[in-house]
Structure 1
């Protein structure tokens, strides 16, 4: 699925989109009908959103539902929310902080977005990676240096810029020189010395970073000291978490910033469709998270914690019917 095909769908009349949703409802209510396709905005190849999207597509295909999930590659969170709001996709993955900005119409969004949450599915760990033998030993050492700060349209970029601002590294005599690079480009730039650090927000371990650490010793800088500043300035979605020791080489654990990830939907997606999807998500969560983040569990009390992003009515009905 290409971004061009997403754009073609976005130009469909709203009436056509609604008609597709009604057809999907009919299929899931037990009536005979064609398989309907739901486009899921994920993220770049090699990242956790992309892995989750492919796993969900496989799980739905194996479920027998008359639904096909079509993962769509994107830059990730910001991109995904914009595509979802304008009807170019039906489902999306996004980080909690970016999703809250979207529903409230805060920068980088120009107005409130019409999106709803199905579940909080897992937590992203913010990585600030440097070469083990490089010149950067602390956040202060980043002053004036080139840093890979996430691709345009990604949630990584939002978090990176907020952390750098909280650290006082975006102004002054020697601000950080931000490079808007995706994960693959960031890894290559760090390995080649084109940047002195890279930001990443994802599950643990992230395969691209594991591969980097396999060929080039790396260190991770602690970021948990900025959690309170981010919560106070932006939203309470930020939490202190710990990157386990030994994941990318160094034996010691590292404190960092955790941000939830939401599975989101258009607000006009039919309730029966949402309930069927959530049955698959909760029935196959081990498969969905296996390639995304180690040791994670998906539990209802965790899944319904979507902060300022309202749950879809179909999701509310599912949780009430199953868990009371």
Structure 2
């Protein structure tokens, strides 16, 4: 029965019940209402209102739960559903809403997978161009400057050395950017070596990274290893740029049927700020492999936990 007719029926039944009670009950109302008669009328009115409220509340309660879920639903934290108990129009509405969430989460997962795959491909292309074109061009410049050094007058030699040093520093920076864009060590030597190189890279820029890894970690596959690497990279970047941390503890260990990545810093913490694009990107990557990402306050700063199940979800 549609909700509109259900409400009309409930109210109609209540009026019929009240009319029947007045018609059959041995109670009359004087021209001047007596106190006892007023008490009976008030009690009857209260009973009708209370029963009507209870019946309407029972019928409309699923709508209230649906509204509350709409206010709190977050596709980056999937799995929230309403109980589909009951039938009628409200039950069909709840079923339709749950089915809509299923479709949205499925479509979002597929679109995010394509977007992240395209992002990784673009990173690889830019890293290759940086290494092959700009890197080789700067190398040629350094070799040319080296060849000019022998015939340079002593007055210009110091300036030439300064230009060489600038070109060498620029070449190192280009290579560092290319490494961050495309973690070749991850493909060649594995996850633990890639995390070690990542920690060394950040330590060279002033952030003290203490790395703790458990030996004998199981094979996770290239997709899950890439997600772990990118989450660690983003967490270290946030600690260095935004949290103004001095030290970070980076750990990777096995915990039951999962591998857990932990990044704890001693920075300023979240301080109630909304999640930025970096944290949202980490959540998107975690959803792709069925992992669970937790970002919150730690003992001294911010704590990032990525729990990756060993069995694919």
Q: What range is the shorter-chain TM-score in?
A: under 0.3
Q: More relative contact order in 1 or in 2 (CA 8 Å, sep 6+)?
A: 1
- Give the alignment's TM-score, normalised by structure 1: 0.21
Asked which structure has the greater CA Rg, the reply is 2
